[in-house]
Amino acid sequence: MTISVSSDDTVISEELRSFIDLESNAVTYDIERHAIERFACAIGDPNPLYTNREFAESSSYGGLIAPPTFFRSLLPRDYPVPYPEPFAHILDGGSKYRYNEPVRVGDQITVVRKITDLFEKHGRMGAMLFKISEISYTNQEGRLIGTQTTTTITYGTGEKDSGVGDH
């Protein structure tokens, strides 16, 4: 864990810093075939492992699975206390996915997010807050099937974008 403080007027307050390593409220999703089909259709991926039951059952997976970035549709819930987002605008910096097992139709996946690092940078858009979050996905048998580590960048003042604070 590193915290960069570039000046006395850092946006990373003690309150914000207290969110590092704090776990979000857990949420569990029942994985329905229809949700996987809709996601595969939205991204435009024709892989029959996501939609063709017979094909998937005769494959090495033994059944329908979800596309790798389906995790994006399993939103984490909020933190036990409201996250004090200091900025109005949001950018997605990227994601790192680690997979132990695929998501399968019929799974119950529990999602928990925690912030592992917060740091700020100063660029042409002024101060920007970088938030590194690790999201874990655990199945109904208690196995960690994968993780997603996200970089979220927020910046600027004014009316808050819809979705700021959700990511």
Partner 1 sequence: MFEDVSVGDELPELVKHPDNRQLVMYAGASQDFVAIHYDLNVAKEAGHPNVIIHGALKSAWLGELVTGWIGSEGRLLELDVSYRAIDFPGDTATCVGKIIDARIEDGVGLVEIEIGLRNPEGAISTPGRALVSLPTRS
Scan residues 66-125 and list those touching partner 1 (CB under 8 A). 67-69, 72-73, 75, 89-99
Q: How far is the CB of 82 from partner 1 (least distance, A)?
A: 19
d(CA 128, CA 126): 6
Residue 61 makes contact with partner 1 by CB under 8 A: yes
Task: Give the pair of three-digit tokens for residue 111.
Answer: 């999602």
Q: Which of 23, 27, 43, 26 is nearest to 35 (CA)?
A: 43
- With CB under 8 A as the contact rule, the residue among 26, 43, 81, 144 that binds partner 1 is 43
Residue 22 makes contact with partner 1 by CB under 8 A: no
Q: Which of 26, 17, 73 is nearest to 50 (CA)?
A: 73
User: What's the distance, CA 164 to chain centroid?
Assistant: 13
Task: Using the rule CB under 8 A, give the single segment among 39-47, 78-86, 112-120, 132-140 that binds partner 1.
Answer: 39-47
